[in-house]
Amino acid sequence: MEISLEDGGGSASPNLKRAHQAFRDRWKETDESMCRHSMSFHLQHALRSEFFASYMYLIELMPVVKLFPVTCEYIKGEKQFYYRAQQFYEDVPASEEGMLGDFMEIGNVDLEGSRQFLKRFVGPGKAGTHCALDCGSGIGRVSKGVLLPVFEKMELADMMEHFLLYAHEEYLGDDADRIETYYCYNLQEFTPPKNKYDVIWMQWVACNDIKQLLNQKKQAFRNGDRVRLRGVQHELRRTLKQAKVDYKNKVEGKLRDNNIKEVWKGMRNITGFKKKNGQVFEEDVDKANDFNQFYNSGIPKPVSAAPTTTLLSTLPSWSSLTGSCHLSSASVDTATSDQRSLSLTIEEVRAELRRLHTGKAAGPDGVCPKLLKDCATQLAEPLHDLFNLSLQTEKVPVLWKTSCLVPVPKTGRPMEMNDYRPVALTSHIMKTLEDFCDWSNKNCLLLNTTKTKEMVVDFRRSKPNCQPVCIKGEAIEVVQTYKYLGVLLDSKLDWSANTDALYKKGQSRLFFLRRLRSFDISSDLLLMFYQTVMASVLFYGAVCWGGNMTDKNSRCLDKLVKKASSVLGRRLDSLRTVVEGRACNKLYAIMGNDKHPLYNVLAGQRSSYSERLLSLHCHLTDKDLMNFLIRCKKSLRPNGVIIMKDNMARQGCKLDPIDSSISRHLDIMKCIIAKAGLEVLAVERQEGFPEIIMPVWMIAMK
């Protein structure tokens, strides 16, 4: 990593400068060698004195207190340097020997000198001693020897997670209780919280221009040149501001290009969301065992009891590990067994073989689908006999149910097991048989009792004890809430559980919105992020639950909308506005589609005088019936009609003043005219009369 020395060399000792130049000339090697030498201090004996002289020369030139990291565009190949450095540190053990190499001579004199150097900038009238941040901490050598004796609390940041784990569990010892937070980030992408730390100790800085300005500022301060000091301070502030603007433009470009994937990747780096834990395996056996444990973690273990499903049912995934599936005849219901009997013909087998995809890989039996498809005529008869024999005996050959998993990387650089997609290779002969079984399952309508739930919706005061629903002798689980198509349904139909889930999701996405706002992203792009990320979650299924929500739940979601509105600096649509707009759009879509199931219902609700929808009128006679009708009145059909009328009124549309009673009279008049052999051509309102009277004319002809 290059360090600018043009403007700062005059303030240091000439001997130190010559030693530094000698050190650099002798050790100018590859990036990996320079990274190893600067990290481990593993030097030859002849160069130790030159190295420390060079190190002291750099200390004299570069300040280390109040140096905030700035995320900016990488220049002069520094992005490649950071990548190589991270690859190098992945193989370094988390220990003092790994940090320093064979040079383990850390004396108290050096530590005390560093503490005295730090105390020049902290204390009364200077920086405080409450909390400090160690960036690029490694295992915490600087924190333990220099920073913890000075500050009350500490926070560590490093890009290697195993360094931080070793620091917390072993290296820091009892001082680990004084470490509040561990940040696992790349330092060039890490932005510390504002107004939290008294001192930030930085060992790596990414921008050469900022380093050069800092050196100029220090030189002007030492020389007493106030005019130059002010100019350098102004230029430093301008450079920092420009670096932030460049990063803001970079994020805005990703949002403007609708590159949401890159935006989320940057948000994960900023917030540390779902940090990946990389792991390196030396042996193939260890890698295979870890893949097996990872992919089998979500598979239930087989029970000791004999399975009660037939071969036509979907076999559990663990059955492929147990060989053939033997079913006792006592466990099969004879009544249903006769109904599910399946017999195949040679023509059906031949047609199914010809539908195979030739581009698929072969299974563990080594039979590729191209062979089965090309030789379908010759292989149809023997496979027909095998399939029918397997269905009659309810047994499957072991080779047919044997499968092997092949992990396929999802990304270019997989870091953990979740970055691999498991692809199961099974026998294509068994897949052909399973296609017939799937067809039988769909036609026989078999239910999976483990995935079937029962939810009782009862609004009566005295609720009777309901008998449990049993399917094939298994009682169905009774639940109070159930998630269906992303919406949580509850037994009270008050949408409280769904509101709580939406509020939690909205809070997490509001945090991301605030993080983007801290980078001064334009308001239009923030609005796009709000609509695509936050509003899409808050208002999902609003037409379904928006009308029957309680006022408490409605205020809860409106609170999130108001917070997002303050972040964006503009007014956003409330929950009620969104629900009304989507309800109107839904009704318009239904009325424009004559194939929709509710089209005939709404068509029968239209006024015979005009095309508008009439409100539903019903007489309430019983208290329970009244409560039921009140709930139904808030559903989409009646509530949407009212919302549509209000929307048309707000838009300035002229509504005809005919209510439902007059409409019924007009229908009666039309019937009378039709019985007289006349045809109604038009219905017009008589002008010049009050709206209460509303006389109308019917134009009819024979």
How far is 567 from 506, CA to CA, in rounded Å? 14
170 lies in a domain?
Answer: yes
**Domain CATH code at residue 192:** 3.40.50.150
Same-domain status, 495 and 466? no
How far is 211 from 442, CA to CA, in rounded Å? 70
- Beta strands 487-490; 481-484: pairing state: antiparallel
Residue with tokens 């565009």: 73
Same-domain status, 293 and 430? yes
Same-domain status, 293 and 421? yes
Q: How confident is the model at residue 306 (pLDDT cuts 50, 70, 90)?
A: very low
Beta bridge partners of 181: 155
Write a three-state SS string for 138-167.
Answer: CCCHHHHHHHCCCCCEEEEEECCHHHHHHH
pLDDT tens digits along 309-360: 333 333 333 333 333 333 333 333 333 443 445 677 888 888 888 888 777 7
Q: What average pLDDT score do residues 379-391 get?
A: 80
Residue 68 has a pLDDT of: 32
The answer to whether the beta carbons of residues 565 and 572 sit under 8 Å apart is: yes
| Helices 551-568 and 496-517: angle between axes, nearest 10 degrees | 10
Residue 395 has a pLDDT of: 77
Ranked by mean pLDDT, the top range of 366-370, 472-476, 494-498, 632-636 is 494-498
88 lies in a domain?
Answer: no
Six-digit token string for 80:
């490649």
How far is 326 from 307, CA to CA, in rounded Å? 9
How far is 402 from 225, CA to CA, in rounded Å? 81
Same-domain status, 191 and 229? no
578 lies in a domain?
Answer: no
551 lies in a domain?
Answer: yes
Answer left, alpha or beta for residue 141, where phi above 0 means left and psi between -120 and 50 means alpha: alpha
Residue 98 has a pLDDT of: 63
C-alpha count within 13 angstroms, C-beta hemisphere, residue 292: 10
C-alpha count within 13 angstroms, C-beta hemisphere, residue 489: 12
Same-domain status, 290 and 423? yes
Q: How confident is the model at residue 511 (pLDDT cuts 50, 70, 90)?
A: confident
Q: Taking 50 as the threshold, does the pLDDT of residue 199 lie above it?
A: yes
Last residue of one domain, picked from the residues 555, 572, 589: 572
How far is 572 from 531, CA to CA, in rounded Å? 10
pLDDT tens digits along 575-592: 888 888 887 788 778 777
Q: Taking 70 as the threshold, does the pLDDT of residue 488 lie above it?
A: yes
Burial class (CB in 10 A: 0-12, 13-18, 19+), 236: middle
Q: Which domain holds residue 38?
A: 9-61
Q: Which residues contact 246 (CB under 8 A, 6 or more apart)?
A: 72, 73
Last residue of one domain, picked from the residues 550, 572, 594: 572
Which of 47-56, 174-183, 340-349, 441-450 is least confident?
47-56
695 lies in a domain?
Answer: yes
Chain-centre distance of CA 515, in angstroms? 16
Residue 309 has a pLDDT of: 37
Of all residues in the chain, what percent are helix, strand and coil, respectively (each to 5)? 50, 10, 40
Range list of H helices, 194-306:
208-223, 226-256, 260-271, 284-295
What rounded mean pLDDT belongs to the chain?
Answer: 66
How far is 426 from 434, CA to CA, in rounded Å? 11
Residue type, 497: A
Per-residue b or e along 374-413, where b marks 16 or more CB atoms closer than 10 Å to that residue's CB:
eebeebbeebbeebeebbeebebeebbbbeeeebeeeeee
End-to-end CA gap in the chain: 98
Q: What average pLDDT score do residues 137-158 get?
A: 83
Element of type H or E holding 181: strand 179-184
pLDDT tens digits along 18-31: 666 665 665 554 44
How far is 422 from 39, CA to CA, in rounded Å? 39
631 lies in a domain?
Answer: no
Q: Which residues contact 492 (CB under 8 A, 6 or more apart)?
A: 457
Same-domain status, 200 and 232? no
Which of 142-151, 216-225, 242-251, 369-378 is least confident?
216-225
Residue 210 has a pLDDT of: 53
Beta bridge partners of 437: none
Residue 274 has a pLDDT of: 54
pLDDT tens digits along 407-464: 888 776 677 777 777 877 777 777 777 776 666 665 555 667 777 888 888 877 787 8
The answer to whether the beta carbons of residues 604 and 660 sit under 8 Å apart is: no
How far is 562 from 530, CA to CA, in rounded Å? 12
Same-domain status, 150 and 251? no
Q: How confident is the model at residue 307 (pLDDT cuts 50, 70, 90)?
A: very low
pLDDT tens digits along 610-644: 555 555 554 444 444 444 444 555 555 555 555 55
How far is 552 from 114, CA to CA, in rounded Å? 58
652 lies in a domain?
Answer: no
Same-domain status, 69 and 188? yes
pLDDT tens digits along 642-699: 555 555 555 554 444 444 444 555 565 556 556 555 554 444 444 443 333 333 444 4
Give the count of beta carbons closer than 10 Å to the beta carbon of residue 628.
13
240 lies in a domain?
Answer: yes
Q: How confident is the model at residue 109 (pLDDT cuts 50, 70, 90)?
A: low
How far is 21 from 50, CA to CA, in rounded Å? 9
Portion of the chain with pLDDT greater than 90, in percent: 0
Same-domain status, 116 and 242? no
Torsion, Cα of 144, 150, 155, 161 (10° steps):
-10
Q: How far is CA 361 from CA 165, 364, 373, in A?
A: 43, 10, 14
Residue 216 has a pLDDT of: 57
The answer to whether the beta carbons of residues 519 and 269 sit under 8 Å apart is: no
Last residue of one domain, picked from the residues 157, 178, 206: 206
The answer to whether the beta carbons of residues 472 and 450 sit under 8 Å apart is: no
Rg of the chain over all Cα atoms, to the nearest angstrom: 38
Residue 626 has a pLDDT of: 44
Q: What average pLDDT score do residues 146-170 get?
A: 83
| Helices 636-650 and 575-591: angle between axes, nearest 10 degrees | 100
What backbone phi and psi angles, to 5 degrees, belong to 105? -90, 90
Residue 341 has a pLDDT of: 56
Same-domain status, 166 and 293? no
| Domains contained in the chain, number | 7
Residue type, 406: V
Q: How many residues does the chain have?
A: 702
C-alpha count within 13 angstroms, C-beta hemisphere, residue 285: 0
Same-domain status, 315 and 238? no
Same-domain status, 384 and 462? no
